[in-house]
Amino acid sequence: MSNFPTRRAVLRGAAVVAALPLVGELSAGSALASSPAGHGRGAADLGANVLVFDPSMGDAAIQAQVDAVFNTQQSNQFGTERYALAFRPGSYNVDVNVGFYTHVLGLGDSPDDVVINGHVTVDAQWLQGNGTQDFWRCAENLCIVPPDGLDRWAVAQAGPMRRAHIKGDLSLWPSPPGNQWSSGGFLADSVVDGQVQSGSQQQWLSRNDSFGSWTGSNWNMVFVGTEGAPAQSFPDPPFTTVDETPTVREKPFLTVDAHGRYQVFVPALRSNSAGTSWAGGRAKGYSIPLDRFHVARPGDSAATLNQALDRGLHLLLTPGVYALSAPLRVTRTSTVVLGLGLATLQATHGNSLIEVADVGGVSVAGVILEAASADSPVLLRVGHGRSRARHADNPTVLFDVYARIGGAVAGGAAVSIQLDSNDVICDNLWLWRADHGNDGTVGWSVNPADTGFLVNGDRVTAYGLAVEHYQKYEVLWNGEHGRTYFFQNEHPYDVPTQSAWVHDGTNGYAAYKVADSVSDHLAWGLGSYCYFDLQADIYTDRAYEVPDTPGVVFTDLMIVCLNGVGGGGILHCINNTGGPVENGFGTYNMTGYSNGVGSD
């Protein structure tokens, strides 16, 4: 193997850790009993797995509960426990280690309202210093003041940090000892006063951030609307820098006032922006009192949740796993579906999980979509069939939405996310057909999945799109005027034979396919990697496949072969141009491709 490990190769050297029992310090409701949720309009009991902290509880008591959660969740990669650690406004002298399925959030109006005089850390010592599996965790709306001047956030996919203020430096790779690799990440609407150190990060997206400085590069570092970003220089070093973010709004977040009344704040849409939404004071937007939400608990059925939606309520999904035999149907404009603690929706009867009508302004945020049965046609869909309706003034946005096929439970889904509506924005998606997991949940016919991301609508924009291991086109884009800022991909590891992975005389499938009928599509900062681990000499003819027309332009794209032994690889980077990378470790970069012409 090369020095750039794949996830399954790493996992073979370490046992898959089973779910650990909840430690005694976290008896049900203990944190909420110490810090009441409040009273009056907007008060709520958020459940035993939302631990609400207040400075009056004392730092030692808070530290003990934070440590107890981490001890349970540090290596609990495919367990069912979920936690949100919520800090009321104030100052805390604690260190917060963030394990699997742990959501750390400040409850203030501004990140500086909750000050952690300590570290908020993701490291990888549970896997010998390798962070390529540090998935499913998040931190947001905090000010972090590390006493040694350095905070560490060594994540892979599904590990975003949002709306944070780091008063010091930020490291994006694990601490020694170990091989110290990390693989993918997303930082948005955040300020780092000092330097961001990318180290071994293989790829990264920063959107609407502000940095003192940045150092380090590897394969694919993308900056969109980020102040203090390095200048455009792909591939040496591989920095892709876009000065402004064309259109975006930030993820909704939970707040609490001095009387214990909760609201969800929905930030306003911004156009042609750089830097954070809160740089000039409180961000623009509006608050929704919590009494306009159904506060969902694991065990709520699809019927219960749909009754709440039909009454015009929003949904706040508290931490846990929700077994659903039918989809949640969102039919009202500007509905918010907000998950805490990586709330996980499981399709148990070959059903979809979320169906959003062709309406504007919907937010779906902070959820894992999981196939827990065979033959779901789609897990999440926005719209139903092509539409002429325009939603540019009030777009639907998907924030931190993750799909999982296999890994925790066996299951299959033809498509993970399908977008039929126009003007949808996607802000940090990871769509994953599992390459490792619990016994009996992974295999070519065990967790089948054709396509991760299917776009039929026009003017769809993706900031941070990661799609991995699907068995056909992993991204299939049929709509016009699509835009992607950062794409990360791995081809399926487990192709059994070349004959099992061919179509129309073509070896394999492109990871990112723009339909032949499309005349306008732009993408920046793309990486696609292969590692065929059955030593069966597997090839794919190309990583990216696009129509040769002037309006379809790919900027800063690359391919990597990680096969340390055996044959196989990617024969061309895009269409029939660029490459190959095969029969061992290798990379190939292109600065651009349009109308049949590529630039090295």
Q: Give the closest residue to 319 by CA, choosing from 44, 35, 51.
A: 51
Q: Which of 285, 282, 292 is nearest to 262 (CA)?
A: 292
| Residue positions annotated with a catalytic role | 490
Q: Give, as one character, the DSSP assignment of residue 412.
A: -
- Residue that the structure tokens 């008063």 belong to: 167
What is the biggest distance separating any 2 CA atoms in the chain, rounded to whole angstroms? Answer: 68
Two tokens at 264? 């969800």
End-to-end CA distance of the chain: 27
What gap in Å lies between CA 141 and CA 104, rounded to an integer? 9
Do 219 and 560 meet the contact criterion of CB atoms below 8 Å apart? Answer: yes
Measured distance CA(587)–CA(567) in Å, rounded = 15
User: How big is the chain by its Cα radius of gyration, in Å?
Assistant: 22
Determine how β-strand 597-599 pairs with β-strand 50-53: unpaired
Return the residue matching tokens 């409040």: 38
Paired tokens of 423: 């003007």
DSSP single-letter state for residue 550: T
| Cα–Cα nearest to 517, from 567, 487, 480 | 480
φ, ψ dihedrals at 534, nearest 5°: -95, 5
**94 half-sphere exposure, CB direction, 13 A CA radius:** 28
Q: Which helix (H) or strand (E) holds 11?
A: helix 7-11
Q: What is the spatial distance between Cα 573 and Cα 582, in angstroms, rounded to a whole number?
A: 12
Phi, psi (5° rounding) for residue 26?
-110, 55
Q: Distance between CA atoms of 315 and 577, rounded to whole angstroms? A: 47
- Hey, which residues does 502 pair with through a beta bridge? 507
Q: How far apart are CA 167 and CA 145, in angstroms?
A: 5
Locate 22 and state its tokens: 């909840």
Mapping DSSP onto H, E and C, the string for 106-135 reads ECCCCHHHEEECCCEEECCHHHCCCECCCC
Beta carbons of 454 and 418 less than 8 angstroms apart: yes
d(CA 494, CA 196) in angstroms, rounded, equals: 36
Structural contact between residues 206 and 241, judged by C-beta atoms closer than 8 angstroms:
no
Beta bridge partners of 434: none
What is the C-alpha to C-alpha distance for residues 343 and 402, in angstroms, rounded to an integer?
10
DSSP code of residue 232 = P
340, containing H or E segment: strand 336-347
> What CA–CA distance (Å, rounded) separates 321 from 330?
20
